[in-house]
Amino acid sequence: MNLSVKHTIVLCIVFAGLGSSAEPTGPVMQLFPSTVIEDIRETGKVAEDMENSIQDVISRLDLQQQLYTESMCAGVDQDPGCERIAKQLGATYLELLNIMSDKLPEMERAVTNTRSSLEQRLREELGQKSTPSGLQDTLLGRVSKSDNSYQASALRGRSGIRLSNRFKQYYDLVATRRGGSSQSMAVIASDIYLDMDEASHLIAATQQEISRAALMEQLNQSFGMITPEMSAVVSGVKSILFGESQLDTQIASLPPSKDEQAFVSPLEM
């Protein structure tokens, strides 16, 4: 039996176990059936492939850009050395665009699959099978009032990490979760779905730009120019794939809970 099949079986057992031991405070939800988990894993793998294939080109671009800057080439005309560096830089830039052009459709397909499957689960489980009151029960039900292990979740806006790592974290969250004490599946599903939705738009916009940028650069190759657009595109790619800054949106953490029995009003919902 290969490893991925074993993994899937283990996941099925884990999720079956979660279903049977869930607290009776909220509806049992199937937000992460094995198909969705597999979509997330697949998206992470595609992202990793794309990073690996682009890493080398990005490093070369960085070195060439550094050489260009250190040689004081910016704004210098008619210098054969600078023209050569600029042409090399432009060629590497074209190479980057070509790789992205090759890889993005696969990435787009993987992201779209994950987004669509999560979209359907969210619509059915939280949108159609749940009431607003039920939604609150779902979000609160997993934490008992004296649970000290409750952890605030702050998933959104996690730029600053590699795209593949982000998917790995998502995968770990949904695949290795043990009953009830960590983050809500509803929150995780929402977070991943919104992320996928943004990624879909970003990929579509990038694909539109790539053909135009490639054409422009082919023209520039004739003149050996370094355009600000090149730097912007490279920075953008690095930011999306490899992360740039760590943004942590912390939610207020839970203060130590009291030991005494909390009062429960007969009026309580």
Task: Provide the binding-site residues for other proteins, judged by CB under 8 A.
Answer: 118-120, 122-123, 126-133, 135-136, 139-140, 143, 145, 150, 152-153, 156, 184, 186-187, 189-191, 193-194, 197, 251-258, 260, 262-263, 265-269
Residue 112 Cβ vs other proteins, minimum distance, rounded to whole Å = 12
Residue 111 Cβ vs other proteins, minimum distance, rounded to whole Å = 15
For the chain, how many residues are written?
A: 269
What the block records as the tokens of 77 is 């005309």
Contacts of 131 (CB under 8 A, 6+ apart): none
Residue 175 Cβ vs other proteins, minimum distance, rounded to whole Å = 20
What the block records as the tokens of 47 is 């992202």
At 107, the amino acid letter reads M
In the bound state with other proteins, the residue whose beta carbon lies nearer, of 1 and 251, is 251
- Of the candidates 183, 196, 182, which has an alpha carbon nearest to the alpha carbon of residue 122? 196
In the bound state with other proteins, the residue whose beta carbon lies nearer, of 77 and 260, is 260
Asked if residues 31 and 109 have their Cβ atoms less than 8 Å apart, the reply is no
In the bound state with other proteins, the residue whose beta carbon lies nearer, of 21 and 249, is 249
Asked if residues 135 and 220 have their Cβ atoms less than 8 Å apart, the reply is no
In the bound state with other proteins, the residue whose beta carbon lies nearer, of 125 and 217, is 125
Residue 222 Cβ vs other proteins, minimum distance, rounded to whole Å = 45
What the block records as the tokens of 90 is 């432009």
